[in-house]
Amino acid sequence: MTYMLGVWGEFLNFIGGRVGAIHFVLFAAASLCCFFLGREERNKLFWPSVLVGLFFFNPFFYQYIGTRFLSGIYWRLLWMLPCSFVIAYTLTRILFRFRKNVWRMVALVLACVCIAVNGRPVLSAETYSERENLYELPDAVMGICDYVQAHLEGWQETMIVPNELLCDIRQYSSAACLLYGRNAGGFISIIGDREMQVYEEMSKENPDVELITDIAKETNCRYIVFNTSFHQIPEDLRGYGYEKVAVIDENYAMYCRISE
């Protein structure tokens, strides 16, 4: 029973908590309407949605397939559910059942008011920012990767970067190989203990530089990047086996392992 409650708690998180649950209730109601709208709606909208829903919200499927093969990305199966489309399509069909245009307009305005009151703006300062370049990545990412590319000793270099750059480095250059990536947060796969130690230190304002550099040398990390606007570290790390070679975008200090 405890396991089942835990699984349903996971499902609730996957769909976005209580707000997402309301959206899915509307989707369920719209799908049910599609069942009565006609054979085409049943075959193209209702039955496929039911099939995907039965698989996704199935505790046994989640236990034996989801946790083993889809860990960290199980929620992406929800992309197969045409939630917004079905809701919009059903609403449109219902509106056209009103014979008088005035009633159609009233129903449409009410629907828009509901969306405006219950919805949340997607385009906001919290979710979007003005792009810094054509790649739509931080300029610091390009500067760091370009430096690594220009000073390659092999076909790629392993490096440690601040947490805010973990998802961006891999999108720009294959020459910069990260000791750990976004999987440090438990996404898709779990990282090793030594990598987790570094990640935890890089998450601190006052990281243990000695621990980070020791593990970096053990794992053959040639570069370490610190965000000096956040990390409080000594400027000179030569005593730890690394020397500063560049400052990117004013705040990102790059340190390279000193050749022995």
Specify the pLDDT at position 162.
94
End-to-end, the C-alpha distance of the chain in Å comes to: 59
pLDDT level of residue 242 (50, 70, 90 thresholds): very high
CA distance 183 to 168: 13
**Mean confidence (pLDDT) of the chain:** 85
Cβ neighbors of 16 (< 8 A, separation 6 or more) are 23
Residue with tokens 């990536």: 181
Specify the pLDDT at position 212.
96
Specify the pLDDT at position 25.
85
The tens digit of pLDDT for each residue in 122-150 reads 777 777 777 778 888 889 999 999 999 99
What average pLDDT score do residues 237-244 get? 94
What average pLDDT score do residues 184-209 get? 84
**Is pTM, for the whole model, over 0.85?**
no
Specify the pLDDT at position 241.
94
HSE-up of residue 96 (Cα within 13 Å, Cβ side): 6
Ramachandran sector of residue 152 (left: φ over 0; alpha: ψ -120 to 50; beta: rest)? beta
The tens digit of pLDDT for each residue in 62-86 reads 888 887 777 777 888 888 888 888 9
Specify the pLDDT at position 19.
65
The tens digit of pLDDT for each residue in 84-107 reads 889 889 888 888 887 788 888 887
Specify the pLDDT at position 118.
66
Specify the pLDDT at position 218.
93
pLDDT level of residue 188 (50, 70, 90 thresholds): low
The highest-confidence range among 12-21, 45-54, 186-195, by mean pLDDT, is: 45-54
Q: Which string of DSSP letters, residue by residue, matches 169-192?
A: HHHH-SSEEESS-GGGGTSSSPPP
Cα 168 to chain centroid distance, Å, stands at: 12
Specify the pLDDT at position 10.
76
The tokens for 253 are 């200090």
- pLDDT exceeds 70 at position 186: no
Inter-axis angle of helices 2-14 and 17-37, nearest 10: 80
- Residue that wins the pLDDT comparison between 161 and 122: 161
